[in-house]
Chain A
Amino acid sequence: MIWEIFRQEREGLPFQHGGSLDAPNLAFAEAYARELYGRRDESFALWIVPREAVDEVRDPYVADVFDRDYRRVDGYSLKVKLKEARERAGTAGAG
């Protein structure tokens, strides 16, 4: 049975995936996780999670068929929009 191990390096930091290990039950998984991720005092705490409990979502991107790129975290392409705005302003100023 495969277990996913998450480790917290210091108190307060987010848990990050450390790796996985093979163990027949939780007691074994805990012993091996201590050995592989705790022996050198490299972790403040561990999460030990059966791999089946992890719900993996593939291709999680929700297609935007309409132009709503303002929702995206990468934001606007300001360069083009600024250029267009400057052109409009320049035209207005000349007129």
Chain B
Amino acid sequence: MSAQELLALADDELILGWRNSEWTGIAPFLEEDVAFSSIAQTEIGHARAWYELAAKQLDTDADSLAFDRQPGEYRCAPFVELRFVPDWAQTIARHWLYESADAIRIQALMQSDDSQIAGLSEKIDREEAYHRMHADMWADRLREEARFQQAVDELWPYALGVLEPDQRDRLCEAVSRDPVDAVERSTHTGELAPLWEEMTMVRRSVPGASW
């Protein structure tokens, strides 16, 4: 797997984890606050693992890849950049669509000839099983809600952009939707730059420091 492909994976997980962590302390109720924060944290943990693999190829370290690149250098899908606080319906719509897409991606990576990639994917998948359980229970609960349905409609082209074109049919099948033109990974939304500002603020405040 190329470093750029690893970075795409890692950036998706880091930025989504970061967006989900914006709910910490303000989720709809306490149990959900704990659960959603925990999911955000494991996404960032997965990002770290992928960055470490990329860092070996690029002769750098995970922190530098996560925080020292310019916003334009990130390879994440526009889908994960969108800021939804305080809209829980949109948040759950993305969570459910992302986990559905991520399951397809991880399944494929578990078949990788590279034993390091396959092994890491298997480990990550064990945690993702909980994410899927959580996403599915919420999707079941909100399925009849107009706000949730509208959010899924709006986000669907973005969700397709998480996957490689040859994997998208499987996502259509998984969430029972028709294919549309995807919002592709090569572009960024206007919401990435402010996120990046905040995410890298402390690290940039003391360049070159060890923490």
**Is there contact, CB below 8 Å, between B35 and A35?**
yes
Find B35's partner among A25, A27, A31 (CB 8 Å cutoff).
A31
**Is there contact, CB below 8 Å, between A22 and B29?**
yes
- Interface residues of B, CB < 8 Å — how many? 13
Chain B residue numbers with a CB within 8 Å of A25 are 141
**Is there contact, CB below 8 Å, between B141 and A24?**
yes
**Is there contact, CB below 8 Å, between B34 and A31?**
no
- Since A22-B30, A35-B35 are in contact, a sample of 19 more A-B pairs with Cβ atoms closer than 8 Å, ordered by chain A residue number, is A21-B31, A22-B31, A23-B31, A24-B141, A27-B137, A28-B31, A28-B137, A31-B35, A31-B133, A31-B134, A32-B31, A32-B32, A32-B34, A34-B130, A35-B31, A35-B34, A36-B31, A36-B34, A39-B38
Partner-A contacts on B (CB < 8 A): 29-32, 34-35, 38, 130, 133-134, 137, 140-141
Chain A residue numbers with a CB within 8 Å of B34 are 32, 35-36
Q: Which of B32, B34, B38, B137 counts the most chain A CB atoms within 10 A?
A: B137
Interface residues on A, range: 10 to 19
Q: Measured between alpha carbons, how far is A23 from B130 in the docked complex, in Å?
A: 17
Q: Measured between alpha carbons, how far is A32 from B39 in the docked complex, in Å?
A: 12
Q: Measured between alpha carbons, how far is A31 from B130 in the docked complex, in Å?
A: 8
Q: Measured between alpha carbons, how far is A62 from B35 in the docked complex, in Å?
A: 44
- Which A residue sits closest to B32, measured CB to CB? A32
- Which B residue sits closest to A33, measured CB to CB? B31
- Which A residue sits closest to B35, measured CB to CB? A35
Chain A residue numbers with a CB within 8 Å of B35 are 31-32, 35
Chain A residue numbers with a CB within 8 Å of B133 are 31
Q: Measured between alpha carbons, how far is A66 from B133 in the docked complex, in Å?
A: 58
